[in-house]
A = this chain, B = another copy of it.
């Protein structure tokens, strides 16, 4: 009898306690934990997609760097004093292109561990914020490299009559083809980078 009384008292107490807490603690806890669950999954998805995009961007920038850095063409005819040769390092813009793309590739490789941290801990804002800040700087660098090279490639293809600059692609066809390919690869990397920053912005926004 004593035993049963103590149990009823216990039941009443716990009932009262849950009643008192229900509107204050239990209900919000339940919803917030559910929200965290779904948001966690959505943020993890973003982090995995971010990781895959980074791998694609590495491929694009590496290909662009190598394509530009190995570009060289010597024409099969030459005069007594001069051999017609075109190399990427005759153009300051193309040198900048190679250096900038090498930097971007290096950054991307270094950013992979941080991207993995974001997959493991989707709610950590520290690595995410670090990535978005460097990503935006790299967007600017990669775009600068790609578009300045594109301006020179356009000039090489079409020339400019006002400035009396001749198109050189009639002679250096292989050179122009390889350089154009590198520029395209670099622009692909820029587009991927823009997506990366947008994804990071979505992942950063508060729950």
Contact = CB atoms under 8 A, between A and B. Distances in A.
Interface in A15-32: 17, 20-21, 24-25
Chain copies in complex: 2
A118 interface: no
Contact of A136 (B17, B194, B204, B206): B194
B202 A129 contact: yes
A10 interface: no
Sorted nearest first, the 5 A-B pairs with minimum C-beta distance are A206-B206, A90-B162, A148-B151, A144-B147, A143-B143
Interface in A179-196: 190, 194
Contacts of A190: 140
Nearest to A166: B164
A139 interface: yes
